[in-house]
Amino acid sequence: RILGAMGSLYYRPSGGKFSGQLNYTYISPYSEDSTKIRIGDIAAHHINFSTNYSFDSNKLLGNLNIRGNYVSDRPVGVNTTQTSNPGLNNSQKYPAYLVFNGSLSLGIKSFENLRVQFTVNNLLNRNILDSQNSTYYHPGPRQANATESINGNVPFVPQRGRHFILKTVIQL
């Protein structure tokens, strides 16, 4: 059983060019049995936010989007369900991160089912919450039940630095 809460706010004025979204999720990362031990490698807080600017000219339609993702610390090790996991650099946790992503979509009005989108993930090329280490981490592979892991430790996976995606979108 998982205990938590989620809330979302959306701002989209009618006829406006700007819109925004904010989402917050809280998860109580403690076991429900008599031990009430902290479940390892689970962030208690997630915040996602984005803003969009839509524009059009005589021939073009476009959208500029900026997104941010925050994930709080994920404790591991002693006093968690992952006692053998030392965390990043033996810190007993995987640190919080905040990263930004952005995209620009363009379409031609005469071909409204066709768009080109250019995306930049990890826009600032760093986790801006950690001045010592620009990389941020996600959990590595584990067994399906998430209680045991490879060699007793859930390894961490460094996430990619700034990278670019160019795609063509055709709506049928």
| Segment 97-144, tens digit of pLDDT | 999 999 999 999 888 889 999 999 999 988 888 777 777 777 666 544
What span, in angstroms and rounded, lies between the C-alpha atoms of 75 and 86? 9
| Segment 145-167, tens digit of pLDDT | 444 445 555 567 778 888 999 99
Q: What pLDDT, on the 0 to 100 scale, is given for residue 156?
A: 74
Q: What pLDDT, on the 0 to 100 scale, is given for residue 144?
A: 43
What span, in angstroms and rounded, lies between the C-alpha atoms of 152 and 148? 6
* Interval 12-30 mean pLDDT: 92
Percentage above 70 pLDDT, the chain: 89
Closest Cα to residue 24, out of 48, 51, 52? Answer: 48
Give residues with Cβ within 8 angstroms of 14, minimum separation 6: none
| Segment 117-130, tens digit of pLDDT | 999 999 998 888 87
